[in-house]
Structure 1
Amino acid sequence: MNKATEKTNQQFDSVFVSPMRSYTLAALDYYEQLVSAQIDAARAYSDMTISQARTWLDVKDADSFKKAMESQQKAATDLMERMKGDSEKVTSISQSFMQESQKKAEEVTKKAADTAKH
């Protein structure tokens, strides 16, 4: 009876517990990467905004106004590029997670089928 119980426990671990633990680790890694990317983006956007605000505080005449406007245009271009890069990064992180999840699901399905045969 002990051997049967041990085999059942091993099968349960192999088919359910181990895959769930593996998936949970992958999900935690995904969320950690996603939150890190979001925090980095928020910090960069905040820095850009503060920098632009400081630029406008330096406006004292027509020439400094012109420089502030030029700086504003460059900041807008930089922001759009940063947002594009951040979007691509999040998409890449999400795609990697989806592919890894799909692979793990296929492995679990195969293990379950193999276990059912035995």
Structure 2
Amino acid sequence: MMNAFNFDSKQFDTKQFEAMFFGPARAFAALSVDYTEKLVNAQLDATKAYSDTGLAQVRSLMNVKDAEGLRTYMEGQQQVAKELTERLKGDAEKVVSLQQDFVQKSQKLAETNVKQAQETATKASK
């Protein structure tokens, strides 16, 4: 009985294994690491921006000494809310863009690898 996982490895040389298995695995790992690094950096940038904004608001509130200062602080809150909304929108768009780029590159890599594997398997069977 023939098992699908039983194949004669002697028919594949090192270059064929590289082309069919190791090369594609390394390429996908590199793509995944690149994506993860970009995503983590985007998240760190966003976290720092939100933290800085929050701390700046606490400092501003601590400097309020009178009714006029409170009024100015409250007016400033509208601008801060607007800026945070824009920042959240931009951060979400950045993450979506990174995900789309990763999917597109993954699909292209998979298509290339399938084509290479078919060519390598065809050469090995001759």
The TM-score, its normalising length taken from structure 2, stands at: 0.85
1:26 counterpart residue number: 31
Letter in 1 for 2:51: S
- Of 46, 52, 60, which aligns to 2:51? 46
Q: In the alignment, residue 104 of structure 2 is paired with which amino acid?
A: Q
Letter in 2 for 1:11: Q
Identity %: 44
The offset of 1:58, in angstroms, is: 1.4
Q: Which has the higher contact order (CA 8 A, sep 6+)?
A: 2
Say which structure is richer in helix: 1
3-state SS of paired residue (1:105): helix
- RMSD, matched Cα: 1.6
* 1:21-75 CA-partner distances (Å, limit 9, x unpaired): 0111111111110000000000000000001111111112111111110111111
Preserved contact between residue 52 and residue 71 of structure 1 (Cα < 8 Å)? no
Question: Gapped runs of 5+ residues in structure 1?
Answer: none
Take 1:53 and 1:114, find their aligned partners in 2: how far apart are those partners? 63
Tell me the CA shift for residue 107 of structure 1: 0.7
The residue that corresponds to 2:40 in the other structure is 35
Match of 1:93 in 2: 98
Relative to the length of structure 1, the TM-score reads: 0.91
Once residues 70 and 76 of structure 1 are traced to their aligned partners in structure 2, the CA distance between those partners, rounded to angstroms, is: 10
Deviations, residues 61-99 of structure 1 (Å, cap 9, x unaligned): 111111110111111110010111111111111111111
Give the whole-Å Cα distance in 2 for the aligned partners of 1:117 and 1:21.
22
The aligned residue for residue 111 of structure 1 is 116
Which 5+ residue runs of structure 2 have no aligned equivalent? 1-8
- Give the letter for the 1:57 counterpart: M
Q: Aligned AA for 1:106?
A: E
